[in-house]
A and B are shown apart, each in its own frame.
Chain A
Amino acid sequence: MKLDTQRIMLNVLLALVPGVSALAYFFGAGIIVNIVVAGVTAVTTEALILRARNRSLNTLRDGSALLTAVLLALALPPLLPLWMLVAGTAFAIIFGKQLYGGLGHNPFNPAMVGYAALIISFPLAMSSWPALGEPIAFWDILITKAMPNSGIDAVSGATALDVLKFRGALTIDETWTADQGFGHMAGVGWEWINAGFLIGGIYLLATRTITAMAPFGMLIALTVCAVLFYDSGSSQSLGSPLFHLFSGATMVGAFFIVTDPVSSPDSAMGLWIFGLGVGMITFLIRAIGAYPDGLAFAVLLMNALVPLIDHLRLRRT
């Protein structure tokens, strides 16, 4: 059992490589710094809590704390101050996981708990992504992250989802020509990042590390919603299906977040419901919510429904 968990976690970490590489390519080394710092924080926090609970430190080896840290870190802006990063990761491990009894007992996805805590606490810092194509020296990244007030002024650029939401009365086509960062499908960079995570997801499916129900449910729901409200690209359009599939956290969410076995239902039909719900709520928050992306809240809301879905006693997988 232990070895199995470890193998799955390592497989998932491996599958994250293409997406993380794309993120680091477009947004610089800050992403890697985030992942390393979050990883160290998560493992240290987990070890401390396990000691406090008089539990064996052996469970650290399953790699789940590390995976939580990586999933959280790659949703965070590269120039996020270090202390926020550390606080968010520690919160995810302590309040999202260990207080419920550790791996296997947490009703909510710990990484999304950390993300939600951070976006609610620091909305400004959490939504300032640097502009694309303006590389920042590694040293400057470190200084900015360690001392938020003395580093470089953040060269922030809106993400494609923000551009779409706050475009005023422009049609989709006009937005594409007006904003250079809007890219071919879903914003320069973001489409490649999502493609990277899609490749990782296909690898996970091929190796049978994850099952297809929840991810497909989510992607189908998102696509259907986007088709319904695309409105052929008018000024009222909520974005094309391709745009929604390849922007923000869609792909990493579909293949790495909603597939978390602990916080998702245990029946095939349950997984479909879970995935469809996440997709719909994500779209809803993207369309009318105030936050940059809706995946974290969608996952948390559906996590809260999991006991109910399981209670329906649907056919077990």
Chain B
Amino acid sequence: MSQVKQITRDGLWQNNPALVQLLGLCPLLAVSNTVANSLGLGLVTLVVLTLSNLLVSSLRGQLNSATRLPAQILIIATFVTCADILLQSYWYELHQRIGLFVALIVTNCTLLARAESFASRHPIRLATLDGFMMGLGFLLVLILLGGVREVLGQGTLLADMHLLFGDSARAWKISLGTPGILLAVLPPGAFITFGCLIAARNWLAQRDETSPTNAAKASNTPLIHRE
């Protein structure tokens, strides 16, 4: 399997930062009560992760083992600060809702883990792709979680999308007419829904491995081991 394919597969499925590595759960669980919030935080994380991987990788020749970690954190913090300020000026209402967790992206272990274990050891092209795919994997899980919780908790889907896409997006809201189950919106609901998602992923992965056609594919060890 080519490296590009392997990196894509790792980020989205095999080594998914949320479902497999269980990293960055604090923002994941806190923000995922609607699709709009999930999409907002997921996109910011995706952009920051891609850019920080790019920069860390391009500086990897200049850094030694003593300066590497501080430099990586500084790079991540810089991008997060930029994202935070941009969000404040262009998507103020959204920032009011998820702003706290945008600042907390600095402490999202996924970013440092990718910078340290992948970007600082791989060429720019692969490192950027890895950042993008890991970010995309995180984003997809966030959206899925947000969607399930929004449907169960509020009986709507795509509500408040105008926070991201302007007033024309108000019409995207789908009201399903189902009664809201408050538990799904609250933190325990986040844990329970997320647990179910992990279980579903493990079940699918297990089924994949045991089916004979895929046995060969699955035996390929992932390019990057979890550290």
A residues sitting closer than 8 Å to B (CB atoms) are 87, 95, 117, 120-123
For A148, give the chain B residue with the smallest CB separation. Answer: B179
Whether a CB of chain A sits under 8 angstroms from the CB of B198 is: no
Contact with A along B163-194 (1 / 0, CB 8 A): 00000000000000000011110101000100
Which B residues touch A87, using CB under 8 A?
181
Nearest CB on A from B120, distance (A): 40
For B183, give the chain A residue with the smallest CB separation. Answer: A121
Let me know if A121 and B192 touch, CB within 8 A.
no
Nearest CB on A from B200, distance (A): 13
Which B residues touch A121, using CB under 8 A?
181-184
Nearest 9 CB-CB pairings of A with B:
A121-B183, A121-B181, A121-B182, A120-B183, A117-B183, A120-B182, A120-B186, A95-B192, A122-B182
For B199, give the chain A residue with the smallest CB separation. Answer: A99
Nearest CB on A from B204, distance (A): 15
Let me know if B192 and A120 touch, CB within 8 A.
no
Task: Tell me the bound Cα distance from A121 to B182 in angstroms.
Answer: 4
Determine which of B182, B184, B188, B192 lies in contact with A123 in the assembled complex, contact meaning CB atoms within 8 Å: B182
Task: Tell me the bound Cα distance from A120 to B184 in angstroms.
Answer: 10
B residues sitting closer than 8 Å to A (CB atoms) are 181-184, 186, 188, 192
Which B residues touch A123, using CB under 8 A?
182
Task: Tell me the bound Cα distance from A87 to B181 in angstroms.
Answer: 11
For B195, give the chain A residue with the smallest CB separation. Answer: A99
Nearest CB on A from B182, distance (A): 5
Task: Tell me the bound Cα distance from A229 to B188 in angstroms.
Answer: 33
Nearest CB on B from A144, distance (A): 15
Which A residues touch B183, using CB under 8 A?
117, 120-121
Nearest CB on B from A143, distance (A): 18
Which A residues touch B181, using CB under 8 A?
87, 121-122
Which B residues touch A117, using CB under 8 A?
183
For A123, give the chain B residue with the smallest CB separation. Answer: B182
Task: Tell me the bound Cα distance from A120 to B192 in angstroms.
Answer: 14
Task: Tell me the bound Cα distance from A120 to B182 in angstroms.
Answer: 7
In the complex, which of the residues B183, B184, B186, B188 has the most CB atoms of chain A within 10 Å of its own CB atom?
Answer: B183
For B180, give the chain A residue with the smallest CB separation. Answer: A121
Task: Tell me the bound Cα distance from A125 to B169 in angstroms.
Answer: 34
Task: Tell me the bound Cα distance from A87 to B178 in angstroms.
Answer: 14
Given contacts A95-B192, A120-B186, 7 further A-B contacts (CB under 8 A): A87-B181, A120-B182, A120-B183, A121-B182, A121-B183, A122-B181, A122-B182
For A117, give the chain B residue with the smallest CB separation. Answer: B183
CB<8 Å pairs between A and B, sample of 14 = A87-B181, A95-B192, A117-B183, A120-B182, A120-B183, A120-B186, A120-B188, A121-B181, A121-B182, A121-B183, A121-B184, A122-B181, A122-B182, A123-B182
Which A residues touch B184, using CB under 8 A?
121
Nearest CB on B from A195, distance (A): 34
For A83, give the chain B residue with the smallest CB separation. Answer: B179
Nearest CB on B from A118, distance (A): 9
Task: Tell me the bound Cα distance from A123 to B186 in angstroms.
Answer: 13
Task: Tell me the bound Cα distance from A95 to B193 in angstroms.
Answer: 11
Which B residues touch A120, using CB under 8 A?
182-183, 186, 188
Which A residues touch B188, using CB under 8 A?
120
For B153, give the chain A residue with the smallest CB separation. Answer: A121
Task: Tell me the bound Cα distance from A217 to B37 in angstroms.
Answer: 47
